[in-house]
Structure 1
Amino acid sequence: MLSEKLKNKQIILASSSPRRQELLKGMDIDFLIKLKNVEENYPSNLKEEEITNFLANLKANAFENDLNENELLITADTIVWHNNKALEKPKNKKQAIEMLTNLSGTSHKVISSVCIKNTKHQKTFFDVTNVYFKNFTKNEIEYYVTNYKPFDKAGAYGIQEWLGFIGVTKIEGSYFNVMGLPIHKLYDELIKF
């Protein structure tokens, strides 16, 4: 389907996330991984998808003069939005435990933005999923953080890991968006692009 439409394009995923790579593979798309070091800073007045849109664009703009005619770049960014602030990747065990303690027994939004770019166009879109957590015990949080080391994950958890299995009571929206890529929207946007 999509692979037909993209057969003369070289898809580049600018993400080191194993989850994003796995999801893109699941769409039967051949792609290369190219990474650039980007300082992921954003203006402090930004909220929710404004943050992820800004960062997805920032990552794409790092490739400004490096794309060939037949190349199509995909960048993405994900945050957890809770109590009117962004939870990014925890810097250490203490921060991860703190984040999960705050998320315990509540709902939060997971927002992912994606930017598709070629030499002529750039398109950014986002998706939002509401995730509901049960009340975690202190032991459950410590077990998860110690054994799964979720330091590369926004909000300090992966829905596809142990904590997601035992703790997610309900989700509204795309499961894959919580993993870091709103793959259903990406499919549609790639067909249109």
Structure 2
Amino acid sequence: MFILKSASPRRIQILKDLGFQFLVEPANIDETQNSGELPLVYLERMVHSKLGNLRDKNTLYLAADTIVVFQNEILHKPIDLEDSIRILKILSGNKHSVFSGAALGTNFGTDFFYEETTIEFKNWKEEEIRDYILRCKPFDKAGSYGIQDEDGPVFSKEGSYTNVMGFPLRSFFSHSSVWLPFWEGSLGVEID
């Protein structure tokens, strides 16, 4: 059995597009950042917290999280419209990093990995920011935006598109080779 410990519609769609069959069992965890906690330390802690206690030996679990980092500070999901405006004003005309981390695990152990993508934003005025927020409602997204949004704030990127959507796909494939026997034996998935 394969269980995704995330309710992110973007992660679910990416895995479905790859042909995986899985159950969705999101973890309900406290996502508060500890005082002085570095972004990548926070990211790994969130992924492992979402993974939780892996008891079933016949189950492969996958957990993931995404953070937006500007000047070594995490810009979390906005809490409301004004917070969304604040976040997008900070990012407007600037470059920032998006880190998506994930972990595959069974009761025998886990494997954490992540990717970084650099994003440059258009230099938007507040009116453009408000229009985007009202159109796309990015309140469930780290950094208050989605790279896939039409007429969105992204000017350019260096790195993986799916990483910005919330899943480190390239690293997933490079790390999943360790799990090949499990994929084929337990999921009925043939891997070339």
TM-score (ref. length: structure 2): 0.88
RMSD over aligned CA atoms reads 1.3
Q: Does residue 97 in structure 1 map to residue 91 in structure 2?
A: no
- Partner residue in 2 for 1:159: 147
- Partner residue in 2 for 1:3: none
User: Alignment partner of 1:117: what SS?
Assistant: strand
Query: CA offset at residue 48 of structure 1?
Result: 2.3
- Partner residue in 1 for 2:186: none
Alpha-carbon contact 2:2-2:23 (below 8 Å) kept: yes
Distance between the aligned counterparts of 1:182 and 1:121, measured in 2? 20
- Which runs of 5 or more structure 1 residues have no equivalent in the other structure? 1-9
- Partner residue in 2 for 1:106: 94
- Which runs of 5 or more structure 2 residues have no equivalent in the other structure? 180-192
Aligned-pair identity in percent equals 36
Q: Which amino acid counterpart does residue 52 of structure 1 have in structure 2?
A: L
Q: Which amino acid counterpart does residue 181 of structure 1 have in structure 2?
A: F
TM alignment of 1:26-175, pairs within 5 A: 26-61=17-52, 64-65=53-54, 67-164=55-152, 167-175=153-161
- Partner residue in 1 for 2:185: none
Distance between the aligned counterparts of 1:131 and 1:49, measured in 2? 17
Q: 1:73-124, CA deviations, whole angstroms, 9 ceiling, x for partnerless residues?
A: 1111111001221011000000001100110000000011101110111111
TM-score (ref. length: structure 1): 0.88
Alpha-carbon contact 2:121-2:155 (below 8 Å) kept: yes
Distance between the aligned counterparts of 2:110 and 2:174, measured in 1? 15
Distance between the aligned counterparts of 2:116 and 2:146, measured in 1? 16
Q: Does residue 186 in structure 1 map to residue 177 in structure 2?
A: no
Alpha-carbon contact 1:108-1:131 (below 8 Å) kept: yes
Q: CA distance change for structure 1 residues 43 and 35 in 2, over 3 Å: closer, same or farther?
A: same
Alpha-carbon contact 2:102-2:114 (below 8 Å) kept: yes
Distance between the aligned counterparts of 2:20 and 2:37, measured in 1? 33
Structure 1 ranges of 4+ moved more than 3 A = none
User: Alignment partner of 1:162: what SS?
Assistant: coil
User: Alignment partner of 1:43: what SS?
Assistant: coil
Distance between the aligned counterparts of 2:117 and 2:87, measured in 1? 18
Q: How many residues align?
A: 179
Alpha-carbon contact 1:49-1:126 (below 8 Å) kept: no
Query: CA offset at residue 163 of structure 1?
Result: 4.5
User: Alignment partner of 1:114: what SS?
Assistant: strand
